[in-house]
Amino acid sequence: MNDWNPEELEKRLANLRAPESPALDARIRELIQSASSPAKRLELVKRRSGSRRLISCGLIAAGVLVGVALCLLVQIAEPQSRLSPPVPIRVNTIQGTVLVKHRGESTWEELGASSQLRVGDQFWAGSASKVSLAMNDGSLVTLTAGGVLSIAHQDGGMEFELTHGTMRAVMREGHPPFAIRTPQGRLEALGTEFTVSVE
């Protein structure tokens, strides 16, 4: 410890090790885990929903009808008012796990065959999963495993945003304007079949 020339000092400072901290390690692990697992998020959403029902039952049992009404207003009416307008797209086929998140929401839900799709909806296809969306004119958009796709807007046509993964489009002749936005740029569909990938 007696040699404090600048180079040695720099080396000693750079080689310092922080104290062990299992608590911090666990916090970071949990942080990464919670962001990695949409299934875990779904469970959390379901658990929260269960708690809300329980609370509502308690309020009814106590006879606080006004409270229940407020609860319904907050939990049912408000989320609906935030939803974007529906789009003329339906879920054609789903394979595996595909999640959807509506604009303004922070949680992911499992996409169902009869789900109502809206502007701003964001889809995530899990591993070994894919989803095919059908437009009114019969054109199809397929999102493959690991892909993330959003419905951007629909003014007179349809625009999607692909932020990750691969999507394939099979367009019918005479289809309305159709565009794909990616982090690298915007593509307009001229042909009838094409594939877009974002790394």
Partner 1 sequence: MDSLPLTHEKRARIESAYADLRDRLLILAAALTADWAAAEDVVHDAFATIVREHWRLQNGFNLEGFLTVCVRNRAMNVLRSETLRKRAQPHSGFLIDPKASDPGARTVAQEERAMLLDAVRKLSPENREILSLRIWGGLSFEEISQLQEIAKSSAHDRYRQALSEVRIALQEVQGGRNERLEP
Which residues here bind partner 1, judged by CB under 8 A?
1-2, 4, 6, 9-10, 12-14, 16-21, 23-24, 27-28, 31-32, 35-38, 41, 99, 101, 106-108, 122, 124, 146, 148, 163-164, 183, 199
Q: Helices marked H in the chain — which ranges?
A: 6-14, 22-36, 38-61, 65-72, 78-82
Of residues 2 and 114, the one with the C-beta less far from partner 1: 2
The bridge status of strand 89-95 relative to strand 98-101 is unpaired
Of residues 102 and 175, the one with the C-beta less far from partner 1: 102
Distance CA 64, CA 58 (A): 9
Of residues 27 and 53, the one with the C-beta less far from partner 1: 27
Least distance CB 110 / partner 1 (angstroms):
13
Least distance CB 68 / partner 1 (angstroms):
30
Beta bridge partners of 142: 132, 168
Least distance CB 46 / partner 1 (angstroms):
17
Task: Give which of 44, 41, 142, 38 is closest to 91, Cα–Cα.
Answer: 142
Least distance CB 181 / partner 1 (angstroms):
13
Distance CA 34, CA 37 (A): 6
